[in-house]
Structures are given as C-alpha cells and as structure tokens.
Amino acid sequence: MSLKTELANADQVHGIFTLVLYSGSWPQQIANVAFLDREDDRITFSPYAPDFNFKILKGIPAKEAIARAEAFVSTHSSFHRSQLACIRDEYDRVVGFEMRPLYYPTTYGTSDVLCIDYSLRDNKIDIHIRINPEVERML
C-alpha cells in the first residue's frame, strides 16, 4: 500500500523517534534525507538501500530529532532550506516524518532533487529514494 506525505512544521513533531539518516551514493551527497520513525507504534521504516547508505539512531526526543535531521540534510554547499513532511498511513494517521533538503534552483534546475516513495507492508514502511531523473542526467 502506497503512503502519502503532506507538508508539516516542527510544532507537529512530538514523542520519541528512531532517526534514519540516509546518504545515497550520488556525487556531492545531494540525496541526504532524514526520516523520523515514531517509536510508539508497531511500524518501522526501512530504506530500500544497502546498510552502508543509512544510519539508525534510536530513542531520540522530537526536538533533538528535528535538530539532528536539519544538521544532516543541510551539509551541501547549495542547500537552501529543509522541508518537513508528515507521512500518513491508510487511516490518515501520522506514522513519521521526512526531512529533505531543498537546493537553490540555479544549481540543479529545481529545488527538490529527490523522488521518495513509501509503501507499507507487514508493519514495515519500505522507502525508495532516487534522484529526479533530470537532475541525475545533469550529474
């Protein structure tokens, strides 16, 4: 089952999270993205990627998770700002959050260079992350 996201703000983030920090193998680390997986539910986040492409930190309070996610996604020289989105399940419940980098559009022709899809199966959210095909051609 495919899940949807919608823009959120840091005030909506409460509780304790497992922080999943994903760093793809693309040049200049443009695919750094962070996921905040709520620890008070049975659902776990799992990037569809080799283990060396992501790091998992458990038991992180909301405020600290937001700060760490922001620091992680903001390292690129063309970073403009971060974008926080909530991830909702089929019952419209928030199961976690995504924080992605947005870049200056003059660098890659668009500010959002990532295509991220979520699918829920057996209490596990598979996360598929790829670079926007037009941006990938530029790289």
Q: State the Rg of the chain over Cα.
A: 14
Number of residues assigned to the chain: 139
The amino acid at residue 75 is T
pTM (2 d.p.): 0.94
Confirm if 55 and 69 have CB atoms less than 8 A apart. no
Q: What is the pLDDT of residue 27?
A: 59
Smallest CA-to-CA distance from 89 within 44, 25, 34 is with: 44
Neighbour-count burial of 39, counting CB atoms closer than 10 A to its CB (0-12 exposed, 13-18 middle, 19+ buried): middle
Smallest CA-to-CA distance from 118 within 60, 50, 43 is with: 43
Rounded average pLDDT per 10-residue block, the chain, 139 residues: 93 96 78 95 90 92 98 94 95 95 94 95 93 85
Q: What is the pLDDT of residue 26?
A: 64
End-to-end CA distance of the chain: 32
